[in-house]
Structure 1
Amino acid sequence: MIKKLTLLFYLFLLVPLLSTAQPTIKKLLKKHNKESIPYITLDSLLTKKEYVLLDTREEKEYNVSHIKDAICVGYDFFNIKKVTSTIKNKDTEIVVYCSIGIRSEDVGEKLAAAGYTNIKNLYGGIFEWKNKNNPVYSKDSLETNKIHTHSKYWSKLVTNAEKIY
């Protein structure tokens, strides 16, 4: 009886630790995002015809790979004037993305503060995009299988690409 109680005790102790040990996109978004900018899923995005796609990662990430036709606006050095000079109509549908959707939410909030009214955050970002076998392109506009993942920790979220960090 004592062995069973001890085993149960350790199970109750270890199961929560094991379930949080492996990061997932869903867990990280829930932890870091407020959902102040509504998500758009990959499936929904793929059905749309007219929108502007903003890559909110840094230029070195964008140069490794990006989604076709995305405009690199960066994160650390994001400049709202670059966006306002490019996208004049504040009602234009804008989809922001980054690696998984954390930095893009921050940039989406800045766009909203500047008066843009139709902003969506790509759920799972470029990692989920590539994990679902969608194409990404190098700075030379050539299709590539590479994704910039920052580190081994973040690279665990990419399952279908060559990981660069």
Structure 2
Amino acid sequence: MLPRPFRFFQYLTLLFPLLLASCVRAQEVPPRLATGYGPLDDKLSRLVSADANALSAREARSLKNAVFLDAREANEYAVSHLPGARHLGFDAPDYSVLEGLDKNRPLVVYCTVGYRSERAAELLRKRGFTQVHNLYGSLYAWKLAGLPLEDAQGKATNKLHTYNKKWGSFVPDSIGEKVY
């Protein structure tokens, strides 16, 4: 048995993440951004900004002349991505995919749920791009909207890289084949 002061710190280290999580309040999310899947919508309301830079899957798809940028890692992109999307990456972004693009051309950045892409979008704005949007709910919202995905060969796929098993729990099993 640990001495009393060590037990206190042990309990404190277990409670701290729970206390911190309870401080994060859900934001009011406009109905246009809702995915329609409660567990995901609840998680997104605490994780991703529902601001003027956020687009729903349908809004993103209808955006004229937009370039879609995947802010996930290469192994995630290879499983499935939005049709025609360019792989930007996150840990070590490949900004060469932006060469020759007009700084005023609409960019839609996405990842699995929108957390990484929101950060990547901020960096793109700092690089001078003026119309950078985050796909709210990202790949999950896209798939829940019934929109297509393609694999590394450019063929339609029903596979969906869910980052890991925990994040895969925020979408229904009917969404497609979950890959971790």
Q: TM-score range by the shorter chain?
A: 0.7 to 0.9
> CA 1:86–1:54 in 2, change beyond 3 Å: closer, same or farther?
farther
What do you get for the CA RMSD once the two structures are aligned?
2.2
Aligned to 1:59: 74
**Alignment length (residue pairs):** 143
The answer as to 2:120 corresponding to 1:107 is: yes
The Cα of 1:36 is off from its aligned counterpart by: 6.8
CA positional deviation for 1:28: 2.9
Question: Partner of 1:74 in structure 2?
Answer: 89
1:132 positional shift: 2.1
In the alignment, the residues of structure 1 paired with residue 69 and residue 98 of structure 2 have an alpha-carbon distance, to the nearest angstrom, of: 12
Distance change >3 Å, CA 97–CA 46, structure 1 → 2: same
* C-alpha separation in 2, matches of 1:34 and 1:47: 21
Deviations 1:128-158 (A, max 9, x none): 1112221100101111100111222111123
Counterpart amino acid of 2:121? G
1:43 corresponds in structure 2 to 58
Provide the C-alpha distance between the structure 2 equivalents of 1:27 and 1:86, rounded to a whole number of angstroms.
39
Q: Distance in 2 between matches of 1:115 and 1:135?
A: 30
Q: What is the aligned counterpart of 2:99 among 57, 82, 85?
A: 85
Counterparts in 2 of 1:74 and 1:119: CA distance versus 1, 3 Å: same
Per-residue CA deviation, residues 100-134 of structure 1 (Å, 9 max, x unaligned), is 11100000000011111101111110111112221
Match of 2:111 in 1: 98
**Mapped contact 1:37–1:108 kept (Cα < 8 A):** no
Query: Does the 8 Å CA contact 2:112/2:163 hold for their aligned counterparts?
Result: no
Q: TM-score, normalised by structure 1?
A: 0.78
**Contact 2:50-2:136 at 8 Å conserved across structures:** no
The answer to whether the 8 A contact 2:58-2:145 is kept is: no
CA contact (8 A) 2:86 2:97 kept: no
Structure 1 residues 152 and 119, CA gap change in structure 2 (3 angstroms) = same
Q: Secondary structure at the match of 1:24?
A: helix
Match of 2:155 among 139, 142, 149: 142
**Identical aligned pairs, as a percentage?**
33
Kindly provide the CA deviation profile for residues 44-96 of structure 1, in whole angstroms up to 9, marking residues without a partner as x.
1232231110011111001000010100000111143x244242x11110000
Inter-partner Cα distance in structure 2 for 1:84 and 1:143: 25
Gaps of 5+ in 1: 1-15, 17-22
How has the CA–CA distance of structure 1 residues 38 and 140 changed in structure 2, closer, same or farther, with 3 Å as cutoff?
same
Give the secondary-structure state (helix, strand or coil) at the position aligned to 2:46: helix
1:28 aligns to 2:60 (yes or no): no
